[in-house]
Amino acid sequence: MKWITNFLLSSIGKKLIMSLTGLFLCLFLIVHMIGNLQLFAGLPAFGGDEGEAFNTYAYMMTHNPLIKIISYGNYFFILLHAVQGILITMQNRKAKGGKYQGSETAKTEAKVASRNMAYLGILILAFIGLHMWQFWAHMHFFEMDQVKYASMGEPIKDLYSLVAEAFKAEWVVIFYLISLIGLSMHLMHGFWSAFQSMGLNNQKYSTIIRGAAMGFAILVPLGFASMPIVFYALSK
């Protein structure tokens, strides 16, 4: 069994862990984004269901046993990805041992995102911390306002109102937008990079993967950004 640890601790194995956990998180982002778009159903402009669609969805997400298992996997993968990413970055720093004083770079060279994955990651981690404190911790541990819908027997937690309230604050909206720009940059490099790490890039696929990465890195953060922007704008 030694071959497994050897493999996972090799430079290529470590990168495989980064890419698989990264792509799992990408999958999570799509599901999370689409699910959250149900927030809009609560706005008077889009029908105004008083948060019923979103709140019943949030109830299901916190009570369905299958979703629970997946969410534990998700927490684990975020931590694994973040810890591994930071460890790799520290190891790489040590291997480099400093910067050149000359300051030119090659014209064809990759952009800022690829060189700053760890900083972008730490920004995302800080965001996840705040975000989970604001909503996840309330759903799981704290007393919250409840609402009663005809479709549900018991009153359920009113996450919709908590979100709508949070997005009235300027600093929250600004921090969300900055973090989403950071996420976009992380994905601009990361999505493509994951395929390279898995060995799936070659002349045939490279253009397709780069295009998909670009689309993903723009559309997903944009979808997320639409929520704080619209809720903030309509609260004024």
Partner 1 sequence: MAHGEIKLNLHIWRQKGVNDKNAGIKTYKNVNVDTHMSFLEMLDVLNTKLIEEKHPDGPVSFEHDCREGICGSCSLVINGRPHGPMQGTTACQLHMRHFKDGQDVYIEPYKATAFPVISDLVTDRAALDRIINAGGYVSVNTGNAPDGNAVLVPQDISDEAMNAAACIGCGACVAACPNASAMLFTSAKVSHLALLPQGQAEATKRVKKMVATMDREGFGNCSNIGACEAECPKEISISNIARMNREYFSAVVGKD
How far apart are the C-alpha atoms of 230 and 236, rounded to whole Å? 10
Measured CA to CA, the distance from residue 200 to residue 213 in angstroms comes to 14
Q: Using the rule CB under 8 A, is 26 a contact of partner 1? A: no
Report helix, strand or coil for 201.
coil
Stretch 46-65 residues interacting with partner 1 (CB under 8 A): none
Contact status, residue 14 vs residue 201, Cβ threshold 8 Å: no
Residue from 113, 124, 156, 217 binding ligand HEM (CB under 6 A): 124
Token output for 37: 């778009």
Print the binding letters for residues 184-223 with ligand HEM: x by CB under 6 A, - otherwise. --x---xx-xx--x--------------------------
Please name the residue that has the structure tokens 């952009």: 111
Q: How many helices (H) and strands (E) does the chain have?
A: 10, 2
Three-state DSSP at 129 gives: helix
Closest CA to 25 of 194, 206, 138: 194
Residue 38 binds which entry of ligand HEM, partner 1, none, CB below 5-8 Å type-dependent = none
Residue with tokens 């009113």: 158
Number of residues lying near partner 1 (CB under 8 A): 46
Provide the mask over 130-169, with x wherever binding to partner 1 is found by CB under 8 A and - wherever it is not: ----------------------------------------
CB of 198 to ligand HEM, least distance (A): 7
Residue 1, classified by CB atoms within 10 Å of its CB into exposed (0-12), middle (13-18) or buried (19+), is exposed
Q: Which of 70, 125, 212, 230 binds ligand HEM (CB under 6 A)?
A: 125
Q: Which parts of this chain interact with partner 1 (CB under 8 A)?
A: 3, 6-7, 10-16, 88, 91-92, 94-110, 114-115, 117, 189, 192-193, 195-203, 206
Q: Which parts of this chain interact with ligand HEM (CB under 6 A)?
A: 15, 18-19, 22-23, 25-26, 29, 81-82, 85-86, 88-89, 117-118, 121-122, 124-125, 186, 190-191, 193-194, 197
